[in-house]
Amino acid sequence: MSDELKRRIESRRATIDGELVALSNRLHDDPELGWQEHRSSAAVAGVLAAHGFAIEQPYLGLETAFRATFGSGPFVVGFLAEYDALPGLGHACGHNLISAMSVGGAIALAEIAGETGISVEVIGTPAEEGGGGKIELLERGAFQNLDFALMAHPAPVDVAEARPFAVAHWHVRYDGKAAHAAAYPERGINANDAFLIAQLSLSLLRQQLPAGVRVHGVQTRGGEAPNAIPERTEGRWYVRAETMEQLLDLEARVLKCFDAGALATGATLTVTPESKHYAEMRTDLEAQELYRDNAIRLGRDFDVDPVAATMNRASTDMGNVSQIVPAIHPYIGVGGDASNHQPEFAEACVGRAAEQALRDGATALAWTALDVALRRMDATFPPRAE
């Protein structure tokens, strides 16, 4: 039965091929930053509405979030759609493809939803790149009704297992005191030197950090004039670790390095989180294997260089969703030499290879959702009367 259902899912996906590619290209041509994805979220929800999904937008008070629902079966599958872009880099993380894959998977699965007892949802989740949109939605009650949550993320190569870091996003600010750098230097407090001390301390701390954790950031404001002692400096810093527990410990040590800058210069330090903490991913291993098998059946290749496979380790607020709902977050390859967050990767997220990834990803997600639903439905819900 499942093979026939899968054939129908794939042929339904094929009928909307042009719409999916057009949606992906439209998002790619008009990148919007996190929390500002007004046109993007409307475009994604618009395609779902045109195919019979009921839309709630804004969703749970978030302007650029939405929820699209189809069917009333007892097993609820949630496809997650990200559509935010990166400052200065456009869709260099390929979220245009994430949206198109989730939309394609959801519409294709809806084709057989009624007869299989599945309800299909798509949740449009803003601001993945540092804003933690899914965490905001989670805390407002989203996702809790789902029996299975899924999405696929573009990457250089196909990797079924996602191992994202837990991460904290910080805005860091030092307030010193301006003074004429030549005439009255003794009256100043140098907020730029505070950053220098912090960066130096972080570089030394790295020697003693466990393998695999990450501390990185950029200074976004360094001073205004060479002849004035910098009064205010600012930056954005990320701290990443294998688990939330390890992250909390690491954060305390990194904070001391920023404290050192304040202590040495007399500047005042203010650290403000830019999002809530992203958790590590808790992957549903059975579903992950089903995804892998389905993707291989569609011709995807997981026989990649193991180094390339482990390299693509970032963080995602899908980690937080995966802590409460069985979830997968596989990577789908768009080929080429570029990797996420490079300008060349944005170029790789449109064109032939990207379109093939979009087709395969949409179908593989829908097939996997079906497999998971069929396996778990009888265990979770009483048998339906025939």
Q: Does 281 bind Zn ion (CB under 5 A)?
A: no
**Around Cβ 184, how many Cβ atoms within 10 Å?**
11
Tally of residues, the chain = 386
Q: Least Å distance between CB 355 and Zn ion?
A: 19
Q: What dihedral angle (degrees, nearest 10) is formed by the CA atoms of 318, 321, 325, 329?
A: 0
Which residue of this chain has its Cβ atom nearest to Zn ion in the complex? 93
Stretch that binds Zn ion, among 86-94, 161-169, 221-229, 296-304 (CB under 5 A): 86-94
Q: Does 9 bind Zn ion (CB under 5 A)?
A: no
Of the pair 317, 355, the CB lying nearest Zn ion is at 317
H or E element: which one contains 259? helix 244-265
Q: Least Å distance between CB 97 and Zn ion?
A: 10
- How far, in Å, CA of 79 to CA of 101, rounded? 9
Q: Least Å distance between CB 190 and Zn ion?
A: 34
What track of x and - describes contact with Zn ion for positions 168 through 207 (by CB under 5 A)? Answer: ----------------------------------------
Contacts of 56 (CB under 8 A, 6+ apart): 66, 67, 68, 69
Of the pair 93, 213, the CB lying nearest Zn ion is at 93
Of the pair 43, 93, the CB lying nearest Zn ion is at 93
Of the pair 53, 238, the CB lying nearest Zn ion is at 238
**Around Cβ 307, how many Cβ atoms within 10 Å?**
7
Q: What are phi and psi of 31, to 5 degrees?
A: -65, 135
Sort 308 into a burial class: Cβ within 10 Å, 0-12 / 13-18 / 19+: middle
Q: Least Å distance between CB 92 and Zn ion?
A: 8
Of the pair 93, 166, the CB lying nearest Zn ion is at 93
Of the pair 93, 247, the CB lying nearest Zn ion is at 93
Q: Return the residues of window 212-251 that contact Zn ion according to CB under 5 A.
A: none
Total residues in contact with Zn ion, by rule CB under 5 A: 1
Residue 154, SS3 per DSSP: strand
Q: Does 110 bind Zn ion (CB under 5 A)?
A: no
Q: Least Å distance between CB 34 and Zn ion?
A: 11
Stretch that binds Zn ion, among 6-14, 91-99, 231-239, 324-332 (CB under 5 A): 91-99
- How far, in Å, CA of 28 to CA of 332, rounded? 17
- How far, in Å, CA of 354 to CA of 332, rounded? 9
Of the pair 122, 269, the CB lying nearest Zn ion is at 122
Contacts of 386 (CB under 8 A, 6+ apart): none
Q: What dihedral angle (degrees, nearest 10) is formed by the CA atoms of 358, 336, 84, 309?
A: 90
Q: Does 97 bind Zn ion (CB under 5 A)?
A: no
Q: Which of 9, 43, 62, 93 binds Zn ion (CB under 5 A)?
A: 93
Stretch that binds Zn ion, among 65-73, 88-96, 270-278, 374-382 (CB under 5 A): 88-96
- How far, in Å, CA of 35 to CA of 342, rounded? 22
- By CB under 5 A, name the binding residues for Zn ion: 93
